Amino acid sequence: MNGQEVAFLILAVIGGLAGLLVVTSRNVVHAALYLVVALASVAGVYLLLAAPFVAFVQVIIYVGAIVVLILFGIMLTRAPVGRRVLDNTLRARVGAFVVGAGVFIMFTVFLGGAFGDERIENQGATATEALGESLFRNYVLPFEAVSVLLLAALIGAIVLARRD
Amino acid sequence: MPLMYPLVFAAFLFSAGVYGVLARRNAVMVLMSIELMLNAVNVNLVAFNAYLRDELVSGQVFALFVIAVAAAEVGIGLAIVLLIFRNRETVNIDEVDLLRW
């Protein structure tokens, strides 16, 4: 096992634990802060997978913008605390656990059968230049569609949230 | 690095998100769980991009698209949650049953 794999395992354990705490924490604000940890460890995973630009975009947009937005949402909706207001009934939670565990086992078994022996070869980090070239040469139409989508979301959010 | 490492990590994050969406009744918590699921998808995209050594870097480009769409989604989602809270004094998704009969 080389250093890359050790680093990945450490990041995966931190991210997985933080992800579990996001969905089980009794306090909304704590859950949002655990979400920061999970998203940051995913950014570290991107770095290990030779995708530095995606990693930095992840830190800037997710940790910098989306979590702040979620914290504002928590503040503006009078965050309740406690198992009873945040979680469904025990029966629903047991069902949710069964579904979640089933999805995990299914993915692991199927993907293990299909890609169990494959390895990601060591490689240099993707240059931002190559990413930009692909984005603006081969994927320029979806890029424009995403910018229109962002504009529509911006206007929609303002229209929804403003008081008349 | 074995390809299974990131795949299992992503599967775990995705399942945690599925659990969160089903087990939470606070709308903001459901949105957080959806973010976890979208991140799991991104990990898969970037992992397969590295595995296939794609010349067009398609995996990373699509990961960027997913991040942009997630930002739009959470903005709209929180605006809707805010509106529901303003009208009904609750963000409990069990009590928002206007469209159910």
Taking CA–CA distances from A137, the nearest residue in chain B reads B56
Is the pTM for the entire model greater than 0.90?
yes
Does B78 score more than 70 pLDDT?
Answer: yes
Write out the H or E segment, with its range, that includes residue B10: helix B4-23
Q: Taking all residues of chain A, what is their mean pLDDT, rounded to a whole number? A: 90
Taking CA–CA distances from B73, the nearest residue in chain A reads A153
- Please provide residue A119's backbone torsions phi and psi, each rounded to the nearest 5 degrees: -130, 150
**Across the interface, do B23 and A23 touch by the CB < 8 Å criterion?**
yes
- Please provide residue B92's backbone torsions phi and psi, each rounded to the nearest 5 degrees: -75, 115
pLDDT at A27: 87
- The full set of domains in chain B, from first to last, is 4-95 (1.10.287.3510)
pLDDT digit string (tens) for B19-74? Answer: 999 998 888 999 999 999 999 999 999 999 999 998 889 999 999 999 999 999 99
ipTM of the complex: 0.91
Q: Where are the domains of chain A?
A: 3-86+123-161
Residues in chain B within 8 Å Cβ distance of A58: 42, 67
Does B101 score more than 80 pLDDT?
Answer: no
CATH of domain A3-86+123-161: 1.20.120.1200
> How does residue B95 score in pLDDT terms, banded at 50, 70 and 90?
confident
**CB pairs below 8 Å between A and B: how many?**
254
Taking CA–CA distances from A140, the nearest residue in chain B reads B61
- Please provide residue B98's backbone torsions phi and psi, each rounded to the nearest 5 degrees: -60, -35
